[in-house]
Chain A
Amino acid sequence: MADADCSTEFAERIRAAAPARVPLCLRGSGSKDFLGHPSPGDALDLTAHAGIVRYAPDELVLTARAGTRMAEIDAALAEHGQMLGFEPPHFGADATLGGTLAAGLSGPRRASAGAARDFVLGTRILDGHGQSLRFGGEVMKNVAGYDVSRLMVGAFGTLGVILEASLKLVPKPRAQLGVRMQLDPASALDRLRSWAQRPLPISASAVVDGSLCVRLSGASAAVRAAAEELGGERFDDDAFWLSLREHTHAFFADPRPLWRLSVAPASVLADLDGPVLIEWQGAQRWLKSDASAARIRAAASASGGHATRFRAGAAPAAVDHVFHPLPAPMLALHRRLKAEFDPHGLFNRGRIYPEL
């Protein structure tokens, strides 16, 4: 597909939709359609607005249009030994940059490297008036004005159309090594906790199938030294970490609904009637369970976090809320912000909360 700038066309669509408040459903490749509530309205297909606008390997910065495929970005970066630090899941071969940022998802490296929003330096957006706005830029440090670019990350398009984003990149680690040991989940969490207080080059971890798996990344001497310190059996398996990132690991094949619990890493959670896969050194827990949303959410809240009904499972049961409900004053603030960006309520209505 040829790279093209379609921002003018999108702006016209938005201006045409505004007077009658015709809802628009912003969409990239649809790889994250499963996440969130369906939103009504005509599709505004963003995939044609594609292309890497600027890539400066010397500066570790890339600017690309929203419709650019993640696979294309990964390939361009790999040529220069660079990558996206937050290791985002694609959930589809044609996943786009816009969708990746709008969903705000981060992969196995999240706990050590940072989240999608941490790597966003600037954005260009279209608001609900069809007005093009630019925030941030391509510099590492910039405290002029509110940080609207990071606000766009994880907003699921409800505040505006991400047209373009500038990202901070990271060098690929020179060495990588996995270690694995048989441990029950409680002991594995204990082990992760004690390691977390040492400066170790841990770039990912997973507790699954009675094993604790750890990925070490960095300078080769550091990785070797850490592997010796951690012990266990060594394994070099990129496919394993990819299967966690993309949810192709056997754990995710379970037909029950998939819940994502984001909690304080040291939390001890009660049994929630299903298998658990732990990532992010304890901070992200995937749960396959038919337990009630209320029970799962109460457990996540009690552990300082929240729960998302990430995938519906084989026999979809309706849930009132895919995303963890907000306290009333927070929801009111969300509504006011939404109204400032999208006063006609055009974008992805109801995708995250019915009120937005």
Chain B
Amino acid sequence: MTVDLSSEVAQHAELIAALARTLPADALLHRKTDLKPYECDGLTAFRQLPLAVALPRTIEEIQAVLRVCNERGVPVVARGAGTGLSGGALPLGNGVILGLARLNAVVAIDPRNRCARVQPGVTNLAISKAAAPYGLFYAPDPSSQIACTIGGNVAENAGGLHCLKYGLTTHNLLKVEIVTIDGERLTLGADALDAPGYDLLALFTGSEGLLGVVVEVTVKLLPKPDSARLLLAAFASVDAAAGAVSAVIRAGIVPGGLEMMDRPAITAVEAYVPCGYPTDAEAVLLCELDGIEAEVVEECAHAEAILRASGATSIRTAIEAHERAAVWAGRKAAFPALGRMAPDYYCIDGSIPRGRLPDVLRGIAELSREYALPVANVFHAGDGNLHPIILYDAANAGERERTERLGTAILALCVEAGGSVTGEHGVGVEKLDAMCTQFASPEIERFHRIKHAFDPHGLLNPGKAIPTLHRCAEFGRMHVHRGAVPFPGIERF
């Protein structure tokens, strides 16, 4: 096959010239050295330079960039802060990165209607900060909340430590303004609690940049709970801790957060930031109750009784904000702490029905032995969102591949238990093969048709989130032959 290089170069030059006509000089990057910082997102194993990076400051500039790309059939990948863990914002070699970080204004905080109108590049935490003077906050709190943007949160349907009680991004949005690939501006949702027609806001949330570009978001704000208590409960077995999670849920208690860590994770954390976790325990649960003082006191006593009845060997209660922060510090430092235990680690993101926690955790322990790789568990137990972390050393021959196979086996276990291959990190480029295990061809085909309705020429983040049927067929063949398929890349932070 011959490639007409001269015409490719000419097309590239023409694209840059067209973009340069629509954007101020400092809003367009196209030299290799300038493009470098955009070559990957949080999934750093995948790297690719785009043709250009557009950094608009206004919605009009976003529309103009999209029109330029649409007319020329050039793919566009929208990007917020680039903290995503599945490669959703990985550039395409023949495409443009549309960076939205400069649209970072909190347009309005409306305490009367309890909502905030913000531009897509505003960070998650900045919304809560802007709302704080009114006693309000934005509930979803992904671990990257200092850096991640609300536009990216919408694209990924981000979760966080407190979504058990307060819901995911999809439950906390009122309205999203989007621009479609042809530059048209559409409003999904409303200032009211619902909008006429199909629930396109729900469809759009978590669509990973494949349907449109987020240009403004109106989020719901909630009154800050005036009280919270955090229980740190130790257990003599992972089974007992998993059973306690079910018992708490069954009792009708809805904690703000219900997190679990197993012994390898506890040991790692205590060696990194000692915060008084019982190192002789096989597992700990962090159960935080928040709300009105009277309610918190009552629920806390109830939860404590249930944890004891479920076999907790010790329970510590943190009441004051600084005490709670000290206990949370361990959980929040879990990933870096584990990062010190081995040269490399791979964090998996699967979700399962909560009642299957004991089975699946046992299954993961068995797989860990079978593959001879240590696995630590630090996860959102209350909503069944697992984050098994495989510790390995890529320098050892074959270990990286064995890690990939173990990851695939763990996700297959989640699907088998009635779960999902991604609870909150998204599909991006990382989970494309895993999608083939969760969905059959008719569903995959329907996803492609939905994209077609929004983006008929497939120019918005093409190749991400939804595998081609061809890829699934290939995957199926390889799966049968070899029992597992390697993920091409696995490094994470």
Contacts and interface: CB of A to CB of B under 8 A. Distances in A.
Interface string A91-128: 00000000000001000001100110110000000010
A304 interface: yes
Interface in A124-169: 127, 131-135, 137-148, 150-151, 153-155, 159
A305 B449 contact: no
A291 interface: no
Contacts of B164: 140
A117 B453 CA distance: 22
B202 A57 contact: no
Nearest to A81: B252
A341 B442 CA distance: 12
| Among A139, A199, A353: residue with most chain B CB under 10 A | A139
Interface stretch (B91-99, B232-240, B289-297): B289-297
A151 B170 contact: no
Interface stretch (A37-45, A206-214, A244-252, A326-334): A326-334
Interface in A69-89: 81-82
Given A154-B199, A197-B136, A330-B197, A264 B192 contact: yes
A259 interface: no
Nearest to B434: A144
A141 B163 contact: yes
A134 B465 CA distance: 17
Contact of A140 (B200, B246, B384, B421): B384
Contacts of A264: 113, 191-192
A225 B291 CA distance: 13
A188 B225 CA distance: 24
Interface in B152-208: 156-157, 159, 163-164, 167-168, 170-171, 184, 186-187, 190-200, 202-203, 205-207
Interface in B335-376: 351-355
A110 B193 CA distance: 9
A325 B135 CA distance: 37
A150 B168 CA distance: 14
Contact of A171 (B197, B254, B425, B454): B254
B418 A219 contact: no
Given A57-B250, A137-B419, A262 B194 contact: yes
A132 B443 CA distance: 9
B442 A133 contact: yes
A138 B294 contact: no
Given A115-B193, A220-B298, A222-B294, A143 B426 contact: yes
Contact of B294 (A141, A142, A219, A304): A219
Given A280-B193, A324-B196, A118 B167 contact: yes
B113 A265 contact: yes
B15 interface: no
A347 interface: no
Interface of A: 56-61, 81-82, 104, 110-111, 114-115, 117-118, 127, 131-135, 137-148, 150-151, 153-155, 159, 170-172, 174, 193, 196-201, 218-222, 224-226, 262-266, 280, 283-284, 303-306, 308, 323-326, 329-331, 333-334, 336-337, 339-341, 352-353
- Which 3 A/B pairs are nearest by Cβ-Cβ distance? A304-B191, A171-B252, A222-B295
15 contacts: A58-B250, A138-B353, A139-B353, A140-B354, A140-B383, A143-B426, A145-B438, A145-B439, A146-B450, A199-B223, A226-B292, A265-B112, A283-B192, A334-B197, A340-B452
Interface of B: 110-114, 134-136, 156-157, 159, 163-164, 167-168, 170-171, 184, 186-187, 190-200, 202-203, 205-207, 211, 222-226, 246, 249-254, 291-295, 297-299, 351-355, 380, 383-385, 418-427, 431, 434-435, 438-440, 442-444, 446-447, 449-450, 452-454, 465-466
